[in-house]
């Protein structure tokens, strides 16, 4: 007779320990990532636009009414270096800038978090710049070859405002107590 023993991976043990700690202290855990990215008012992209003063004119995926990313413009044109400095100041994070577009930025596309692969969608819109959280080697080449600025401002830094806005909204509408805990993450 062969008996199989199920072994948990280190990742599974870590998740189990985290959840047990929450449940033992009657703490609820809600995790809605993708819907929070795309919500038109409370979502990460909408809230990032609010923080940075970006004017949203449409979705990054033109044929998708539930587009995650956004396309729009700056309130006033800025030099790319000025925009990078503004983003760094507001988000409290160094911004990696691939300087490959026009001297002045007027139009921009953005998608929070790990959406560097959406640069091609931004290019299709003909914008001056694209902003996301992360960068990869192909992103750099796409930006340089297509003549578009690319700004990587940190996955965490670009996505923290949606969760906070959602918590505030739920507290206001349903009278629930909430605490937004921003645990810094350099990624």
- The predicted model scores a pTM of 0.88
Q: Considering the domain boundaries, does residue 153 fall inside one?
A: yes
Q: Considering the domain boundaries, does residue 55 fall inside one?
A: yes
Q: Considering the domain boundaries, does residue 171 fall inside one?
A: no
Residue 32, pLDDT score = 67
Q: How many domains does the chain have?
A: 1
Query: Tell me, what CATH number does 62's domain have?
Result: 3.40.1390.30
Q: How far apart are CA 164 and CA 142, in angstroms?
A: 33
Whole domain around residue 142: which residue ranges? 34-160
Q: Considering the domain boundaries, does residue 9 fall inside one?
A: no
Give the 3-state DSSP-derived string for the chain, with helices as H, strands as E and coil as C.
CCCCCCCCCHHHHHHHHHHHHHHHCCCCCCCCCHHHHHCCCCCHHHHHHHHHCEEEEEECCCCCCCCCCEEEEEEEEEEHHHHHHHHHHHHCCCCEEECCCCCEEEEEEEECCCCHHHHHHHHHHCCCEEEECCCCHHHHHHHHHHCCEEEECCHHHHHHHHHHHHHHHHHHHHCCCCCCCCCCCCC
Residue 3, pLDDT score = 64
Q: Considering the domain boundaries, does residue 70 fall inside one?
A: yes
Residue 91, pLDDT score = 97
Q: Considering the domain boundaries, does residue 72 fall inside one?
A: yes
Q: Considering the domain boundaries, does residue 2 fall inside one?
A: no
Residue 17, pLDDT score = 87
Residue 52, pLDDT score = 98
| R_g over Cα of the chain | 19
Tens of each residue's pLDDT in the chain, 187 residues: 566 666 777 788 888 888 898 889 988 777 767 888 889 999 999 999 999 999 999 999 988 888 899 999 999 999 999 999 999 999 999 999 999 999 999 999 999 999 999 999 999 999 999 999 999 999 999 999 999 999 999 999 999 999 999 999 999 999 999 899 999 888 8
Q: Considering the domain boundaries, does residue 170 fall inside one?
A: no
């Amino acid at each position: 007779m062969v008996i199989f023993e199920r072994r948990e991976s280190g990742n599974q043990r870590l998740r189990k320990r985290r959840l047990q700690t929450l449940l033992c202290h009657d703490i609820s855990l809600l995790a809605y990532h993708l819907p929070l990215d795309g919500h038109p008012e409370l979502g990460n992209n909408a809230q990032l636009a609010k923080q940075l003063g970006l004017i949203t004119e449409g979705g990054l995926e033109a044929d998708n009414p539930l587009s995650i990313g956004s396309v729009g413009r700056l309130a006033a044109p800025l030099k790319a270096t000025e925009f990078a400095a503004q983003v760094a100041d507001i988000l409290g994070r160094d911004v990696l800038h691939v300087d490959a577009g026009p001297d002045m930025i007027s139009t921009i596309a953005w998608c929070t978090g790990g959406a560097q692969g959406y640069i091609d969608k931004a290019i299709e819109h003909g914008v001056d710049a694209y902003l996301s959280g992360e960068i990869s080697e192909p992103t750099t080449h796409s930006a340089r070859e297509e003549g578009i600025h690319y700004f990587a401002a940190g996955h965490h830094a670009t996505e923290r405002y949606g969760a906070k806005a959602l918590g505030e909204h739920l507290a206001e509408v349903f009278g629930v107590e909430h605490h937004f805990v921003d645990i810094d993450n350099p990624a």
